[in-house]
Amino acid sequence: MPRRTPALVAGALTLALSLSASAATWQALPDTPPSPADNPQSPAKVALGKALYFDPRFSADGNISCNSRHNVMAGGDDNRPNSIGFHDARGERSAPTVWNAAFHSVQFWDGRAATLEDQAKGPVVNPVEMGMPDLDAAMARLKQIDGYKPMFEAAFPDDPNPITADNAAKAVAAFERTLITPNSPYDRFVEGDFTAMTEQQVRGLVTFAELGCTACHAGPNFNGPKLPTGTGFYQRFPTISGSVYEAKYDLTADTGRHAATGVDADKYLWRVPTLRNVALSAPYFHNGAVPTLDEAVRVMAKTQLGKDLSDAQAADLVAFLNALTGEFPEIAMPRLPGTPGRSVIPAADAHASASPSD
What pLDDT is stored for residue 75 in this prediction? Answer: 95
What pLDDT is stored for residue 11 in this prediction? Answer: 62
Residue 214 DSSP code: G
DSSP secondary structure string, 74-127? TTSS-SSSS-B-GGG-B-SSPPPP-TTGGG-SSBSTT--BSSHHHHHHHHHH-T
The answer to whether 143 and 344 are in contact (CB under 8 A) is: no
Q: What is the pLDDT of residues 99-129, one digit of tens each?
A: 999 999 999 999 999 999 999 999 999 888 8
Q: Which amino acid is residue 264, in one-letter code?
A: D
Least confident of 38-52, 77-91, 168-182, 313-327: 77-91
Stretch 348-355: mean pLDDT: 49
Active-site residue, selected from the candidate residues 129, 176, 199, 246: 129
Stretch 19-27: mean pLDDT: 64
Q: Would residue 129 show up in a list of annotated catalytic residues for this protein?
A: yes
What pLDDT is stored for residue 346 in this prediction? Answer: 85
What pLDDT is stored for residue 357 in this prediction? Answer: 32
What pTM, to 2 d.p., does this model score?
Answer: 0.92
What pLDDT is stored for residue 4 in this prediction? Answer: 55
Local confidence band at 91 (pLDDT 50, 70, 90 cut-offs): confident
**Per-residue pLDDT at 237 exceeds 90:** yes
Local confidence band at 184 (pLDDT 50, 70, 90 cut-offs): very high
Would you tell me the crossing angle of helices 148-155 and 165-176 to the nearest 10 degrees?
Answer: 70
| Cα–Cα distance for residue pair 95/282, rounded to 1 Å | 10
Among residues 38, 324, 309, the alpha carbon closest in space to that of 167 is found at 38
Q: Which domains does the chain have, with CATH numbers?
A: 6-29+181-322 (1.10.760.10), 43-180+330-352 (1.10.760.10)
Q: What is the pLDDT of residues 284-340, one digit of tens each?
A: 999 999 999 999 999 999 999 999 999 999 999 999 999 999 999 999 999 999 999
Would you tell me the crossing angle of helices 165-176 and 135-142 to the nearest 10 degrees?
Answer: 80
What pLDDT is stored for residue 3 in this prediction? Answer: 52
